[in-house]
C-alpha cells in the first residue's frame, strides 16, 4: 500500500521543517490587498504583508487558492500515491474546502482523495495537519487517519484579542458605533473559534487583562496536549504570558511565532492569542 500524502493550505502556519520532514504539500492562500492579489508564503510573509497593507486604505481579504492549483497538486501526487488527505481552513471563513472538493472530483477513479474541513485556522489547522502527517509516516491507512482527524478537530480551541476594531466590524461581529466607541476607549475584543466561525465573546480595556484572560482560557483545560502562542506587535504582552505558561506547564512546550497573513486578514496586524489542543480521548 502506498503511503498517504497530506495536503493543506498556507493558512496552517506550518514551519519549513515540518513541511520538509513530512513531505506536506502546501497550496498557497491568496491575499487581496487593494487591487492586487498575492500568494501567501510565496510572494508575502507577515512583514511584507504589513508593508503593502500600509500603502492601501481598504481592509485585506483572504481568498481560496485557484481551482487549477488544487488540480495540479492532486495530479502530481497521484503519480506517487493512490491516497491523499487534504485538510483546510474552516469552510465558514473561506471557500478553500469547496475548491479542494471540486478539484478532487476531477480525479475521481484515479486517486482516493479525502477532503476535511478543519473548522479552524492558523496553528489550529496546523495541529491537525501535523497529527495526520505523523500517522501517515507510521503507515496508517487513509480511512484511519481521517477518522483520527475528525476525532481531534473538536479538541482544538482558539482565542485571540484584536486591537483593530475595523476587522470585527467588517465581518459583522460588532456594529459601526461599537467599533468607533471601542477604538476611543481602547477596548480589545476577545474572539474565539466556535463551530468553525470567529465570534466576539467579551472585551477588555488593558493589556494586563488580556494576558490574564488568555492565561485563564488555557488554564480551564485539564488535558492539554499542545499550546501555541501567536502575536504581532504585542511582544511585551506575549513574553509575559509565555513566562506564566512556562511556569504553569513546565513539561509542555509552547509554540511561539508571529502569526501569518491569512489570520491577519481576520484579526488585524496587532493581535495576541493562543491556540490549544486537548487530549482527544477526553471527548469520548
- SS3 (DSSP) at 24: coil
Mark which of 154, 180, 209 sits at the end of a domain.
Answer: 154
Q: What are phi and psi of 10, to 5 degrees?
A: -70, -10
Q: Determine contact, residues 214/234, Cβ cutoff 8 Å.
A: no
pLDDT digits (tens, 9 = 90+) for 253-276: 999 999 999 999 999 999 999 999
**Dihedral pair phi/psi, residue 157, rounded to 5°:** -130, 140
- Average the pLDDT over 132-144 and give the result: 97
Average pLDDT over residues 183-204: 86
What percent of the chain stands above pLDDT 70?
Answer: 97
- Do 165 and 237 share a domain, yes or no? yes
Query: Can you give the pLDDT at residue 284?
Result: 39
- Tell me the longest C-alpha to C-alpha distance in the chain: 61
Query: What is the average pLDDT across 176-199?
Result: 82
Q: Specify the number of domains making up the chain.
A: 2
User: Does residue 181 have a pLDDT over 90?
Assistant: no
Residues 167 and 264 in one domain: yes
- Structural domain containing residue 19: 5-154
What are 211's three cell numbers?
A: 494576558
Q: What is the mean pLDDT of residues 72-99?
A: 96
Residues 146, 167, single domain; the answer is no
Higher pLDDT, 109 or 35: 35
- Whether the per-residue pLDDT at 281 is higher than 80: the answer is no
Same domain, yes or no, for 150 and 181?
Answer: no
Looking at the fold, whether 182 and 121 belong to one and the same domain comes out as no
Q: Answer with the one of 92, 125, 154 that is the final residue of a domain.
A: 154
Residue for cell digits 484515479? 110
pLDDT of residue 234: 87
Write down the mean pLDDT value for the chain. 93
Q: Are residues 162 and 132 in the same domain?
A: no
Same domain, 188 and 244: yes
pLDDT exceeds 70 at position 104: yes
Report percent pLDDT > 90 for the chain: 80
* Mean pLDDT across 195-220: 91
Residues 132, 189 within the same domain:
no
32 shares its domain with 143: yes
- Distance CA(196)–CA(198), nearest Å, equals 7
Question: Between residues 252 and 177, which one has the greater pLDDT?
Answer: 252
CATH of the domain at 182: 3.30.1180.10
Check whether 217 has a pLDDT greater than 50: yes
What confidence score (pLDDT) does residue 203 get?
Answer: 86
| CATH number where 97 lies | 3.40.50.10170
The pLDDT value given to residue 13: 97
Assess contact for 224 and 252: CB atoms under 8 A: yes
Please tell me whether residues 13 and 136 are part of one structural domain.
Answer: yes
As a whole number, mean pLDDT of residues 122-130 equals 98
pTM of the model: 0.94
149/159 same-domain check? no
| One domain for residues 138 and 185 | no
Q: Please report the pLDDT score of residue 123 as a whole number.
A: 97
- The residue among 106, 121, 154 that closes a domain is 154
Question: Distance between alpha carbon 138 and the CA centroid of its chain, in Å?
Answer: 25
pLDDT of 283 higher than 60: no
Determine contact, residues 112/83, Cβ cutoff 8 Å. yes
How many CB atoms within 10 Å of residue 42? 12
For 71-79, what is the mean pLDDT?
96
Give, for 218, the enclosing helix (H) or strand (E). helix 207-219
- pLDDT tens by residue, 6-30: 999 999 999 999 999 999 999 999 9
User: CA separation (Å) from 44 to 10, 40, 41, 210, 262?
Assistant: 11, 5, 5, 29, 10
Supply the pLDDT for residue 112: 94
Amino acid at each position: 500500500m502506498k503511503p498517504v500524502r497530506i495536503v493543506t493550505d498556507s493558512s496552517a502556519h506550518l514551519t519549513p521543517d515540518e513541511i520538509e520532514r513530512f513531505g506536506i504539500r502546501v497550496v498557497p492562500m491568496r491575499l487581496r490587498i487593494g487591487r492586487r492579489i498575492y500568494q501567501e508564503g510565496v510572494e508575502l510573509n507577515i512583514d511584507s504583508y504589513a508593508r503593502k497593507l500600509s500603502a492601501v486604505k481598504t481592509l485585506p481579504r483572504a481568498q481560496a487558492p485557484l481551482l487549477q492549483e488544487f488540480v495540479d497538486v492532486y495530479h502530481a501526487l497521484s503519480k506517487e500515491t493512490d491516497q491523499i488527505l487534504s485538510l483546510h481552513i474552516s469552510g465558514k471563513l473561506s471557500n478553500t474546502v469547496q475548491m479542494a472538493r471540486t478539484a478532487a472530483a476531477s480525479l475521481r477513479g484515479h486517486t482516493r482523495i479525502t477532503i476535511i474541513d478543519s473548522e479552524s485556522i492558523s496553528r489550529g489547522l496546523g495541529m491537525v495537519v501535523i497529527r495526520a502527517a505523523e500517522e501517515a509516516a507510521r503507515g496508517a491507512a487513509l480511512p484511519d487517519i481521517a477518522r483520527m482527524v475528525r476525532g481531534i478537530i473538536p479538541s482544538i480551541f482558539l482565542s485571540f484579542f484584536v486591537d483593530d476594531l475595523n476587522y470585527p466590524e467588517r465581518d459583522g461581529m460588532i456594529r459601526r458605533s461599537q467599533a468607533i466607541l471601542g477604538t476611543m476607549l481602547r477596548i480589545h475584543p476577545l474572539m474565539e473559534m466556535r463551530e468553525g466561525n470567529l465570534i466576539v465573546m467579551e472585551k477588555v480595556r488593558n493589556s494586563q487583562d488580556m494576558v490574564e484572560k488568555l492565561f485563564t482560557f488555557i488554564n480551564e483545560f485539564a488535558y492539554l496536549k499542545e499550546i501555541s502562542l501567536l502575536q504581532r506587535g504585542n511582544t511585551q504582552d506575549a513574553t509575559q504570558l509565555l513566562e506564566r505558561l512556562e511556569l504553569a506547564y513546565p513539561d509542555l512546550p509552547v509554540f511561539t511565532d508571529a502569526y501569518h497573513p491569512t489570520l491577519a486578514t481576520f484579526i488585524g496586524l496587532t493581535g495576541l492569542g493562543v491556540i490549544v489542543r486537548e487530549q482527544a480521548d477526553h471527548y469520548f
